[in-house]
Amino acid sequence: MIQSLQEKGRWPRVRSAVVKSKLNQRQKQDPITPLRLSPYQVFNHLLSNNLPSLLKQAGAFQFITEQDAFKGYAGFWKRFAAFIIDGLILMVCGFIIGGFIDLVHEFTTGTSAGAGALGNLGGIILGWLYFAIMESSSTQGTLGKMALAIKVTNLSGNRISFGRATGRHFGKIISAFILLIGYLMVAFTSRKQGLHDMMAGCLVVKRR
C-alpha cells in the first residue's frame, strides 16, 4: 500500500494527514519535541485509526457516500408511472397557459384564428423546458420522477447538463415515432434504457 501511494504521488499528503492526527493526540503531552514518523509508523497509525477519514482528508482516495451509491436501474413500470404523473402536470399547466395565450391573442388581434397554433407551440416549449431544466437541475428529475424516487444521470452516474437533457427530451420523438418501440426497450435492455436514453448517453436510476 505504501509503495502504491508513493508511486502515485499521494504519500506526502497521507503522511501530512497522519502527522496532523498524531500531533493532535500528543499536543497536551509534549508540545515542544518535534514529531518524526517513519513510513511504517504512518501505516500502523492508519490501521489503528479511522483509515477512510485520514485518506480522504489527504486526497488519496475518493470515497462514495451512501447517498451517491448505485441503487439499481429504474424499471419500466416505475418510469411509466412517473410519465403519467408528468403528463397530468403538463396537461393542467398547458390548459392554463393555452387559455392565457388564446385570451391575449384574441384581445390583441380581435380574432381567435391562429391561437391554436400558438398554443401548440407554447405546449412544445413548456414540455421541453419542464423536462430539460428539472432533469439537469440538482433534483435530477421531474416531479413525477421525484415522486417515484428515480433520477436521470449520465453513464458515469453524474448529473447531466441542460444540453444533454434537451437531446434526451427531443430523442423521445424518435422513440415514439417507431411505434413506441424506443420506450418499450426500457423493459428489455440490460440497463433499462430507452432509445432516447441511449442516444443521449443517459441512465435512469433509483434514488433509494
pLDDT at res. 159: 96
Q: Which three cell numbers stand for residue 134?
A: 428539472
pLDDT by residue (tens digit) across 145-202?
A: 999 999 999 999 999 999 999 999 999 999 999 999 999 999 999 999 999 999 999 9
Domain ranges of the chain: 2-58, 76-206
pTM for this model (two decimals): 0.68
Between CA 26 and CA 29 the distance in angstroms is: 5
pLDDT by residue (tens digit) across 74-109?
A: 999 999 999 999 999 999 999 999 888 888 888 888
Q: How many CB atoms lie within 10 A of CB 29?
A: 7
Q: How many CB atoms lie within 10 A of CB 175?
A: 21
Q: How far is CA 133 from CA 123, 142, 165, 196, in A?
A: 15, 9, 8, 17
The residue ranges of DSSP E strands in 19-178, in sequence order, are 150-154
Q: How many CB atoms lie within 10 A of CB 69?
A: 8
